[in-house]
Amino acid sequence: MRLVPVLMALAVCVGLWFWIVPASGQQVAAADPAAAPAGGSVAAGQQASPSVKVVAFRSQARDVDNAIVLRGRTQAHRLVEVKAETAGLVVSDPLRAGARVETGDPVCRLDSGSREAQLAEAQARLSQAEADAEAADTLAQRGLTAENTAKARRAALEAARAATRAIQLDIERLTITAPFSGVLETDSAEIGSLVRTGDVCATIISLDPIEIVGYAPESEVDLLRAGMPAHARLVGGRTISGQVAFVSRSADETTRTFRVEIEAPNPDAEVRDGMTAEILIPVASDRAHLVPQAALTLNDAGVLGVRTVGEDGRAKFLRAGILREDERGIWLTGLPEEVGVIYVGQEFVADGRELEVTWKDWKAAP
């Protein structure tokens, strides 16, 4: 009774062997090209690759006004804290922030205190010194006094003159005036307040012309020159025009960029100090193609460019450089005068791949 299970197992193994081995031999024969009959069909791997459907447009190079674009900010032409050169109590009513002042207009007036009396005393001593010096000179000429005495009297006269002039200057400094035309950025000192030498009386700002300051990279700074026209677009959309006034010869140690200053007229002082600005400085024009951003791609080496339709109808990668970017698309240089640019499906083709092209007229947004 125990032999029956063993015999049944052997029968199953023999049946499986006859079922599996012939099937495996057929698969090997099908996979071996040498075993295939001479008149057999071409292997599937040897069939031609199917063409890839893409969408492209024909682009013609155009003359494009090239420009250097910098980020910057507006800056006051002059910004000065007017400070007192002498001490005293303010006796003038304050000027309020925003008031317009011209060169020489009084901003603060200080109390003279005892300065008038000091001036009168100095003038009296000056008169006495003048008389002493004149008498000493006369006596010296007659030989009635020593020459050293006459020189001492003349020295005393000069000292008296200097003392008198110092008091006069101190009195003149009691009136603090605007050094240039502009607008008060802060209120002037309040009446009755005590100011000491070096204390701020008021802050005056001049916004005409307005300066726009940006920083140019090393690759573009050699294209800039003083006197070149420049334009700046502010955050609110306003555009102002001026010219390059200064290009730094020394780079910033941290950013390795060069300071560029532009001056633009601002007669109404509508452009304020510290506003963000996009600076556009036109340079020599270039030939370029306007393409959609979607057309840009990278080849296997990581080089930026576009996929194009070659003369043989196959895909071809062309390296391109970005001239600039605007709201319509990307301006590319380094391409032929006429080129078929693929802008749909370019990511799915490689160089030499046969294409099934649908040509469409792509137009940038105005």
In a domain, 21, yes or no: no
* Segment among 23-32, 80-89, 95-104, 168-177 with least mean pLDDT: 23-32
Is the pLDDT assigned to residue 34 strictly greater than 70?
no
C-alpha span between 195 and 110 (Å, rounded): 8
Looking at the fold, whether 102 and 140 belong to one and the same domain comes out as no
In a domain, 243, yes or no: yes
Is the pLDDT assigned to residue 25 strictly greater than 70?
no
For 121-145, how does the pLDDT look when each residue is reduced to its tens digit (9 = 90+)? 999 999 998 888 888 888 878 877 7
Is the pLDDT assigned to residue 99 strictly greater than 80?
yes
Looking at the fold, whether 272 and 245 belong to one and the same domain comes out as yes
In a domain, 213, yes or no: yes
* Segment among 42-46, 75-79, 199-203 with least mean pLDDT: 42-46
Looking at the fold, whether 201 and 95 belong to one and the same domain comes out as yes
Final residue before a domain boundary, out of 240, 267, 282: 282
Q: What is the pLDDT of residue 206?
A: 92
Q: What is the pLDDT of residue 19?
A: 66
In a domain, 32, yes or no: no
In a domain, 39, yes or no: no
In a domain, 35, yes or no: no
Looking at the fold, whether 230 and 292 belong to one and the same domain comes out as no
CATH number of 59's domain = 2.40.420.20
CATH number of 276's domain = 2.40.30.170
Looking at the fold, whether 296 and 348 belong to one and the same domain comes out as yes
Looking at the fold, whether 197 and 95 belong to one and the same domain comes out as yes
For 321-357, how does the pLDDT look when each residue is reduced to its tens digit (9 = 90+)? 887 777 788 889 889 999 999 999 888 888 888 888 8
Q: How confident is the model at residue 362 (pLDDT cuts 50, 70, 90)?
A: confident
C-alpha span between 116 and 168 (Å, rounded): 9
The answer to whether the beta carbons of residues 209 and 201 sit under 8 Å apart is no
Closest CA to 297 of 332, 339, 323: 332
Q: What is the pLDDT of residue 22?
A: 53
Looking at the fold, whether 212 and 277 belong to one and the same domain comes out as yes
Q: What is the pLDDT of residue 18?
A: 67
Domain that holds residue 99: 84-110+177-206
Provide, rounded to the nearest whole percent, the portion of the chain with pLDDT above 90: 46
Number of structural domains found in the chain:
4
In a domain, 348, yes or no: yes
DSSP one-letter code for 170: H
- Mean pLDDT value of segment 266-283: 89
Q: What is the pLDDT of residue 143?
A: 77
C-alpha span between 39 and 314 (Å, rounded): 32
In a domain, 28, yes or no: no
